[in-house]
């Protein structure tokens, strides 16, 4: 599951922001920013918290009235959580977890420049937007993926499940390339990792050409697996570091729908934990088992052997790193 990395000074910033929003928005009867902050508090109350608080600072929180601040309250809850969600004394000077949520101030200048598709908020955040536009239900668009540009959150890895990914590839290759570029746009100094599950039988030459052309986007790692006979229910599903996506006809350049669930946006922490993340992790586990059990060859209809796994190099998609070790 995703983790949260938060600088100790950001706790104070959040408290100040909560206070100022409560004071201003209640008077104006505008609840939207309060709702967004509740979503962030629910996220912090759900995931593991990694912070550079010292042991002494944590002890002082234990000894304070937990009503002193909102952040004291959820830190106290994290300390008492039987799963030990609070991890202290962390070095936050580098982004090392590319599936995580980061809350850091601007003193971390190098991080802001090389966030590489990671969800990052700094103290310029005004409580007015937390990737809320990324939750989309049946949005209709023309098929031009550029129409989705403002809806895509940070991303540095992707899994595409599409049984027909390689059908009519020559006709669809520009759409496929544009689609990958759209998601890769915020990644600079790490490889963008792409895993594809599709029907591969009798498509070796097409697959080799497709890998070569997608690699021309630059700084890509690609692996392609046979989808298997029982994967229809996951057809045309896409997973990224922070979202699960459904698209009717993702690469056909014709009118279709786009649905996206941003895992962290919800006003109910139970929903974040049990529906958004739990369901997402379950799907990743099923796909990982498919990777682990993949055979080296598939017997085609004419009796020849054909590879069912193709990859630019030996790697494990970083999305699978979200699966808890015990699972």
Domain boundaries, the chain: 3-121, 132-322
Can you list the positions of beta strands (E) in 227-308?
Answer: 237-240, 243-247, 256-262, 297-299, 305-307
Q: Fold for domain 132-322?
A: Endonuclease; Chain A (3.30.870)
Tens place of pLDDT per residue across the chain (327 aa): 789 999 988 988 988 888 887 766 666 666 688 888 888 888 988 889 999 988 888 888 777 765 667 777 777 777 776 567 888 899 898 888 999 999 998 777 667 666 899 999 988 888 888 888 899 999 998 888 888 999 999 999 999 999 889 988 999 999 999 999 999 998 988 999 999 998 887 888 898 899 999 999 999 999 998 886 665 556 789 999 999 999 988 888 888 999 999 999 888 888 898 889 999 999 999 899 888 776 555 545 565 555 567 888 889 999 999 998 875
Give the global pTM: 0.90
Strands of the sheet with 101-103, listed across from one edge: 86-87, 48-51, 3-6, 101-103, 119-121
Instruction: Report the half-sphere exposure of 318 (CA within 13 A, side-chain side).
Output: 20
Residues 6+ apart with CB under 8 A from 32: 25, 128
Q: Give the integer Cα–Cα distance in Å for 214 and 311.
A: 12
Q: Give the integer Cα–Cα distance in Å for 3 and 12.
A: 20
């Amino acid at each position: 599951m995703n983790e949260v990395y938060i600088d100790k000074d950001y706790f104070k910033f959040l408290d100040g922001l909560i206070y100022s929003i409560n004071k201003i928005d209640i008077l104006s009867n505008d609840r939207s920013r309060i709702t967004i902050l509740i979503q962030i508090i629910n996220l912090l109350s759900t995931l593991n918290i990694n912070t550079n608080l010292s042991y002494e600072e944590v002890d002082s929180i234990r000894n304070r009235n937990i009503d002193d601040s909102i952040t004291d309250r959820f830190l106290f809850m994290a300390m008492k959580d039987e799963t030990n969600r609070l991890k202290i004394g962390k070095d936050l000077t580098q982004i090392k977890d590319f599936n995580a949520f980061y809350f850091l101030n601007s003193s971390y200048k190098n991080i802001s420049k090389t966030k590489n598709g990671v969800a990052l908020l700094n103290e310029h955040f005004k409580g007015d937007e937390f990737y809320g536009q990324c939750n989309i239900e049946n949005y209709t668009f023309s098929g031009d993926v550029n129409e989705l540009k403002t809806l895509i959150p940070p991303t540095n890895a992707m899994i595409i499940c599409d049984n027909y990914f390689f059908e009519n590839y020559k006709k669809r290759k520009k759409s496929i390339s544009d689609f990958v570029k759209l998601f890769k746009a915020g990644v600079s100094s790490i490889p963008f990792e792409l895993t594809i599950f599709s029907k591969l039988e009798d498509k070796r030459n097409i697959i080799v050409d497709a890998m070569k052309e997608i690699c021309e986007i630059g700084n890509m790692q690609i692996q392609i697996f046979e989808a298997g006979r029982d994967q229809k229910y996951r057809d045309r599903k896409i997973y990224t570091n922070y979202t699960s996506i459904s698209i009717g006809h993702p690469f056909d350049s014709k009118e279709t729908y786009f649905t996206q669930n941003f895992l962290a946006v919800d006003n109910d922490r139970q929903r974040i934990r049990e529906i958004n993340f739990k369901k997402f992790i379950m799907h990743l586990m099923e796909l990982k088992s498919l990777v682990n059990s993949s055979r080296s060859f598939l017997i085609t209809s004419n009796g020849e052997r054909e590879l069912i796994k193709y990859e630019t190099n030996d790697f494990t998609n970083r999305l699978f790193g979200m699966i808890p070790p015990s699972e």
